[in-house]
Structure 1
Amino acid sequence: MRRELCPVETLYIAQRSRAVLSLRLRGRLDTAVLSEAFDSLTSANPSLRSRLCPGESGFALELLPEEERPRLRVRDEGSEAGLERVYEEELNTPLPVGVALSRAVLARAAGSDRYLMMMVVDHAVTDGHSAIAVLNDLWDRYRALLAPDGGNGGVTAAHGLTDGAAEPPFPEPVSELLPACDAEETEAYFQRRLAETSGPPVALVPYDVPAPTDAGEEPADAEPRHRIEVQRLLLDAAETEQVRRTARENGVSVHGLVAAAMLKAARARVEGEGAVRLGCLSPVDLRSRLDPPLDPRVMTAAVASHLQTPEVAPESDPLVLAKEVTDRLRESLDRGDHFQEMRILPRVPQHPLLQLGSVIVTNMGASRGPGVPEGLEVEDVRLTPARENYFPQAGRSPVMACVVSFDGRLAVEFPHYTACFSRSFVQRLRDDVRGVLLAPAAGGAEAPSPAPVA
């Protein structure tokens, strides 16, 4: 079974980005049943057991033969510290073109009841919402398989097909589900967006790690010195409610507040006096905005973007910035710009300024964590983006924050490549963001001390 990729999906191939999901567990876990649940999940979602291959005009999705489909891999680690090593390895292991577009691993610490479950899915076939939904679906299937009556617990395939039915098809590209629009309107929108990029240049955050030189480059077969790392800001329930209350009382969104904190942190790291033009790139979920809405379990990238370029000075009030970000994004959504952004996306590689942000701030909103059976406890859930290609030679780039709330706790993940930004640099950036989110001026109470590295 094959399906040609649409032009929008093809863009993800060059990016080689992936969603990395992790789940910390404690208690009783049946690895054989979890393996069966993962097989059930991939049977219901052909995108998870497919690969990228050459197509008629680019690339296509191709179903893998049975012997090559991904299976849950179980690893025994000598200690709980080994679980962290597994996280780092999975975060840094790519999904090359031609292999399965997903993988899953369960690591268990020897002599304990603690586990780390990880799923990695290529962004060509997923976005943040479907990645979370498919993780939850896996554990719904696990619970159903443990049910005493042997029933399926209401678990069905993402396309409305029950397990055991005919082979489910690949999902349709989201670009083919957009509402009808006159081509002239899209062209006018494209020209307007181009005109917006003709102003003062957007400033990027300089790397704090020296750029590599030809003499300092490593041999191709050498063990890499640099890797992807993630610094994390995790708020407790009370702190999360404080941030939400601050947003409500000031008429802004939580996304706007986090974006403002990121813009302030970025401005502090950009040279120059006075106001500087910074870009704030916000991914926009299309699923809830399609008619009919698209089920979160459908494995496809259903994301557009919104770019705004406010002037930010060292003394800019974060709440004023948050109001500007919130209002501009709401106005854009009211106009339906997100659909036009999806239509012009294939032209962005020729005009990269259309998506050049100083900060990239995702927002999955409040999400339900996986439901596990009695006797098993979820200690932590994480969603982090990663990719294969980073460019330390560029000398500067956007900084990224991946925002998601699981079960009432706001988390902000800061992924970075150590050849570009050092660990200490991103830790300080993270602490600056925390300081803005929990500042006395925002929350009405003394800001807590910076969170420890997670």
Structure 2
Amino acid sequence: MTTQRALSPFETGYFSASDRFGSIPVAGMPLFIGSVVRGHVDALLLRRALAELAAVHPLLRCQVTAEGGDGGSAGQEGALAFRTREDFRPRLDVTEGGDDAFLRLINSPQDWAAGLFRGCLLRDGSSSRVVLVIHHGIADGRSAFALLDEMWRRYTALASGTGLPVPVGSRLPDAVDTRLASVVADAEVDELPGVFARAAAGGPAPAMLRPDADGTAEDPLGRFALDRFELDPRTTEGLVATSRAYGLTVNALLCGAALATLRALLEPVTGALPMICGNAADLRSSLRPELPASTVLNCVSGLGTMLSVDAGADPVALAREISADVRAALARRDPARFLLASQRVRSASEAAAFRTQPTVAVSNVGRIPRHPAPAGLSVVRDEAYAMAAGMPPKLTAFTYDGRLTVQVEYDTAVYGRERMGRLGRDLEAALREIALAPAPAGSGPRV
């Protein structure tokens, strides 16, 4: 039974005063995962469901301690360690408000010394929002969505008067980089920093969206923003059919459309520009044995595809390039190697190569199962958010109940709302156009 263990190098970055994973600032980053529902959510039952989650998943009831310290998290001296708190009960904050309250929540500082997991219930007339707030150092998007689904299963069972078993988890799961060390050979890892450095030295820097916001001005709606659009089931299915006809994934089409849309906002307005599409990559399938999504643990890495993108580029052609590059990167196990290699940089040039920012980052969680809900409640949609100061524009995508949701997330101290709003509107229009124009027969890859 492991009730305390040291943080791995990968995890430590999330709890340091200031650190990055590759180009992404991750120190102290919160992960918000939740559902918008019609109907009244019982706060007492929700508290019980949150307590059950913390009992089952030991990382949720941990505190981070420093060697010789008495608790807390970032900014302390000495090696950091997770230590389970058997007396921990997740806090549930109940407040009034809808979208405005959610924006205040994602813009509020988090007190991680009080716990790495809590809940918020936002009431807005006949609707409610349930939001789980989790330190990103202990969970990734897949485990967060799985945790949200488990919360609804437990809440529904409690509402029916039956409840579900609560097997108390005592053993802390090993960190993903600890697990990867036994799967990926050192030689595979050691060669990657040099490869990145040589590629960066021999090629142009990726084009980035020019900052157009006053970093000193305070946005009245909050620094961290998101613009969301949702495709109806028919349009979503059309997008799926088109992707299949071309032998592509929906994620590849999303990335191709995102690059083409973003290219229209870049300067100069004509000619080809180098652009990097960054993708979040789940490492669970790389582990042996494979780790289920239900295990609360941060297992996310990333990969990037560099393309030369012309003004007016065809999203499908870009999607083909991205798809081929991603397949090759996964075959080389680049996301796993990247996570380990980022801990072994040997020079300033290698460090700079690892911190090359993508033009746009995409995190696509895929299909989310429909959550159960007791009588009188219906889940309208899910939502997730994770953002830090200075991050490049980011897309979060997932399909819930047959509807593709895409969130455009950004830092308003860097990127203005007007231009980012245009990006979201143009991206939605591009995806709808792709969905309504299925690929011709025989356009898929030849065997």
Q: Do Structure 1 and Structure 2 share a fold, with TM-score over 0.5?
A: yes
- Are the counterparts in 2 of residues 369 and 381 from structure 1 also a CA contact under 8 Å? no
Change over 3 Å in CA distance of 1:182–1:292 after alignment to 2: closer
Task: Please report the RMSD computed on the Cα atoms of aligned residues, expressed in angstroms.
Answer: 2.4
Structure 1 position 50, deviation (Å): 2.3
Structure 1 position 352, deviation (Å): 4.3
Structure 1 position 211, deviation (Å): 4.2
Query: TM-score normalised to the size of structure 2?
Result: 0.85
Unaligned runs of 5+ in 2: 20-25, 68-76, 439-447
Matching of residues 250-289 of structure 1 within 5 Å: 250-272=246-268, 273-289=270-286
Q: Distance in 1 between matches of 2:108 and 2:205?
A: 35
Matching of residues 26-425 of structure 1 within 5 Å: 26-55=38-67, 58-64=79-85, 66=87, 69-75=89-95, 77=96, 82-109=97-124, 112-148=125-161, 150=162, 152=164, 155-156=165-166, 162-163=167-168, 168-178=170-180, 179-198=182-201, 199-212=203-216, 226-272=222-268, 273-347=270-344, 351-354=351-354, 355-387=356-388, 390-391=389-390, 398-425=392-419
1:439 equivalent in alignment to 2:441: no
| Correspondence for 2:444 | none
* Aligned-partner SS, 1:172: coil
Which deviations, in whole Å up to 9, do the C-alpha atoms of 1:62-108 show, x marking residues without a partner?
A: 33473x64222223x2xxxx222221121112334533112201122
* Aligned-partner SS, 1:439: helix
| Correspondence for 1:451 | none
Structure 1 position 326, deviation (Å): 0.8
Change over 3 Å in CA distance of 1:226–1:407 after alignment to 2: closer
- Are the counterparts in 2 of residues 11 and 346 from structure 1 also a CA contact under 8 Å? no
- Are the counterparts in 1 of residues 152 and 371 from structure 2 also a CA contact under 8 Å? yes
- Are the counterparts in 2 of residues 366 and 405 from structure 1 also a CA contact under 8 Å? yes
* Aligned-partner SS, 1:194: helix
Which deviations, in whole Å up to 9, do the C-alpha atoms of 1:304-357 show, x marking residues without a partner?
A: 211111111103211110000011101111222222122113247962433521
- Are the counterparts in 1 of residues 183 and 287 from structure 2 also a CA contact under 8 Å? no
* Aligned-partner SS, 1:186: helix
Q: Distance in 2 between matches of 1:83 and 1:276?
A: 40
* Aligned-partner SS, 2:373: coil
- Are the counterparts in 2 of residues 50 and 69 from structure 1 also a CA contact under 8 Å? no
Amino acid at match of 1:12: Y
Matching of residues 6-45 of structure 1 within 5 Å: 6-13=8-15, 14=19, 15=26, 16-45=28-57
Which deviations, in whole Å up to 9, do the C-alpha atoms of 1:375-416 show, x marking residues without a partner?
A: 2111221112223xx24xxxxx62110111111110111122
- Are the counterparts in 2 of residues 275 and 314 from structure 1 also a CA contact under 8 Å? yes
Structure 1 position 225, deviation (Å): 7.8
- Are the counterparts in 1 of residues 261 and 426 from structure 2 also a CA contact under 8 Å? yes
* Aligned-partner SS, 1:279: strand
Query: TM-score normalised to the size of structure 1?
Result: 0.84
Amino acid at match of 2:123: R
Change over 3 Å in CA distance of 1:325–1:175 after alignment to 2: same
Which deviations, in whole Å up to 9, do the C-alpha atoms of 1:3-33 show, x marking residues without a partner?
A: 2110111222332222212211223533212
Q: Distance in 2 between matches of 1:372 and 1:346?
A: 43
Change over 3 Å in CA distance of 1:151–1:400 after alignment to 2: closer
Unaligned runs of 5+ in 1: 157-161, 392-396, 446-454
Which deviations, in whole Å up to 9, do the C-alpha atoms of 1:23-53 show, x marking residues without a partner?
A: 1122353321221111111122222222333
| Correspondence for 2:445 | none
Amino acid at match of 2:174: E
Q: Distance in 2 between matches of 1:183 and 1:107?
A: 48
* Aligned-partner SS, 1:206: coil
- Are the counterparts in 1 of residues 275 and 307 from structure 2 also a CA contact under 8 Å? yes
Change over 3 Å in CA distance of 1:89–1:369 after alignment to 2: farther
- Are the counterparts in 2 of residues 367 and 405 from structure 1 also a CA contact under 8 Å? yes
Q: Distance in 1 between matches of 2:130 and 2:384?
A: 12
| Correspondence for 2:74 | none
Q: Distance in 2 between matches of 1:91 and 1:265?
A: 27
Aligned length: 410
Q: Distance in 1 between matches of 2:338 and 2:406?
A: 26
Q: Distance in 1 between matches of 2:353 and 2:309?
A: 19
Q: Distance in 2 between matches of 1:83 and 1:293?
A: 39
